[in-house]
Amino acid sequence: MKRLVALFEAIDTTTSTKNKVTHLAEYFRAAPPADAIWTLYYFLGRKQKRLVKRKMIQEAVQELSGLPDWLFEESYSAVGDLAETIALLTETIGPKALSDVPLHIWVQDRLPSLSKLPDEAQKDRLKQWWRELSTEEVFILTKLLTGGFRSGVSERLVIRGLVEAFQWDEAVLSEKLIGDWPITDEWFLTLGSAQREGLSLYPYPFFLASPTDDDPGLLGDISEFAVEWKWDGIRSQIVKREGQVAIWSRGEELISQSFPELIAMAGTLPDGTVLDGEILAYEGDTARAFANLQKRLQRKKVSDKMVKDNPVVFFGFDCLQWAGLDLRDQTLKQRRETLDKAVREFAHPTLRASHLIHCQTWADLFELRKESRSRQVEGLMLKRWNSVYQMGRKKGDWWKWKIDPMTLDAVMLYAQAGHGKRANLYTDYTFGLWKDQTLVPFAKAYSGLSNEEINKLDAWIRKHTLERFGPVRSVMPLKVFEIAFEGIALSPRHKAGIAVRFPRILRERLDKKPEDADSLASAMELLNAPTVQS
């Protein structure tokens, strides 16, 4: 456990990407494989279910520290993070008989056995562990117990750390870490091998486009690029190998069960086929709102009625493997020819090739881009015809040229403490719009402000609190912020009757009073906004 804590603290105290990679490499070189595989599991964002109830942890620490309920809640409210609160309170229990039990013993033996004990025995075991662990180890232990561990580094940095540690091939490593894999020391030692046993239905690592807001003319001549609409759907890969089919989202989630008609379509494709594209809610020749796709994803089993009421189409824009041949090192132009031929030959109604846009000049394309919102798309994709299919976000070949987001001016209503380094700051905010004379919550946002702005806002929140609800505070409705978002849809599940996608803070509107903020009626008008103004 001590090695993991040291790694976590080293990463948490540096902003340098290079240093983070170095810390990861040093850890993986030194750690026993049985520990390294679990660290890899957690650092890649994988999670186990909660092993013990929050109430049980709270009762145990209160019994140990002697804190009454009200004082614990006040402490939790001040700190803002349960694991940090527990860690700080266990500092008060006196001298500790520190031990160093390996990480794999904790997660394979100690933690699972805890969940099988009666309530009182669980609390006794927790108290015993707290007497053996440092404050930092108690923090990590609580995160593991509650399923709330976050490493603070991206998957790409973790892979770079492994590559630096062992000189493994990055492409092979990335492929092996997709989907589910055995959490064993033996499997960790095979990560550098080029063998792909058991990976037949896994996708290839996705190639991601980089955003551009600059004049696209700076990228080169327009004839060098394949231009497509940037659809508002689910980026996915359809994999057909060994007579079986799987559909994977960009987030490496298996979503096959949500789209039975696409599974049936892919079953007609030749073995050894991987198509990259977008799943769209689509009816006739019209794209429908993303909310229609969400209805599919929220069901464990999709009924025939759901399929009929929410039809989908797979718009392929790349062919990564065809009939067993890996095409990723071919140019996009060559891969696109293979895709177009496949779509023509198989002629399935749920399989289409993405529409290629032909414009003579960047100026013409700029004008066409203004139609994005009316076409239910997010902007344009620009891909070099001579590009190979790379891995991750590599600048230079694939670009996304998105339209400006929708915006509304909203009043801050609630603030919630953050996590990790920001657990003692209020960083997550809820904003409201006017409905008659009442402010109705419509969006939560936690990104868009600088550290300096967050610190100033945190001080303001503490001085203007109306009520407290655990880590949440309601505040005086005095501050107005411009909130940006990518899409808006009707939603009976939300109090405002609408849901917005990817909300974020653009700026504080110091020039506006609360009564100047937008209304729900203004939000409803955006539902039918015909075009985007650049």
Q: Is residue 441 part of a domain?
A: yes
Q: Is residue 195 part of a domain?
A: no
What pLDDT does residue 287 have? 83
Q: Are 484 and 370 in contact (CB under 8 A)?
A: no
Say how far apart CA 220 and CA 243 lie, in whole Å: 43
* Reported pTM: 0.71
Say how far apart CA 238 and CA 247 lie, in whole Å: 5
Q: Tell me which residue has tokens 């000189």.
A: 167
Point out the domain boundary residue: 120, 146, 172: 146
Structure tokens at 505: 């803070």
Q: Are 498 and 488 in contact (CB under 8 A)?
A: yes
Q: Are 366 and 289 in contact (CB under 8 A)?
A: no
Say how far apart CA 313 and CA 335 lie, in whole Å: 20
- 373 backbone dihedrals φ, ψ, rounded to 5°: -65, -40
Q: Is residue 259 part of a domain?
A: yes
Output the domain CATH number for residue 431.
2.40.50.140
Q: Is residue 191 part of a domain?
A: no
Say how far apart CA 391 and CA 160 lie, in whole Å: 13
Whether residues 238 and 286 share a domain: the answer is: yes
Longest dimension (CA), the chain: 76
Q: What is the pLDDT along the chain (534 residues), one digit of tens a residue?
A: 899 999 999 998 888 999 999 999 999 999 999 999 999 999 998 888 888 888 999 999 999 989 999 898 888 877 778 888 999 999 877 666 677 899 999 999 999 999 899 999 999 999 999 998 999 999 999 999 988 888 888 888 999 999 999 999 888 888 888 888 899 999 999 888 765 555 578 899 999 999 998 788 889 999 999 999 999 899 999 999 989 999 999 988 889 999 999 999 999 999 999 999 999 998 888 888 787 888 888 677 888 998 998 899 999 999 999 999 999 999 999 999 999 999 999 999 999 999 999 999 999 999 999 898 888 888 999 999 999 999 888 889 999 999 888 999 999 999 998 765 666 789 999 999 999 999 999 999 999 999 899 999 999 999 999 998 877 899 999 999 999 998 888 888 888 889 998 899 999 999 999 999 999 999 998 886 543 333
Whether residues 306 and 218 share a domain: the answer is: yes
The number of distinct structural domains making up the chain is 3
Q: Is residue 196 part of a domain?
A: no
Q: Is residue 189 part of a domain?
A: no
Output the domain CATH number for residue 7.
1.10.3260.10
Show the domain range for 513. Answer: 406-526
For Cα atoms 294, 297, 303, give the angle at the middle one, nearest 5 degrees.
105
Beta carbons within 10 angstroms of residue 436's beta carbon:
7
Structure tokens at 414: 């609630």
Element (H, E) at 249: strand 244-249
What pLDDT does residue 94 have? 67
Distances (CA, A) of 171 to 7, 16, 392, 515: 25, 24, 10, 54
Point out the domain boundary residue: 402, 433, 464: 402
What pLDDT does residue 494 have? 86
Contacts 24+ apart (CB under 8 A), 35-40: 35/3, 35/4, 35/102, 35/103, 35/104, 36/185, 36/188, 37/104, 37/183, 37/184, 37/185, 37/187, 37/188, 38/103, 38/104, 38/107, 38/183, 39/4, 39/7, 39/103, 40/158, 40/162, 40/177, 40/188
Whether residues 427 and 476 share a domain: the answer is: yes
Output the domain CATH number for residue 334.
3.30.470.30
Whether residues 243 and 332 share a domain: the answer is: yes
Q: Is residue 467 part of a domain?
A: yes
What pLDDT does residue 530 have? 46
Whether residues 250 and 363 share a domain: the answer is: yes
What pLDDT does residue 180 have? 81
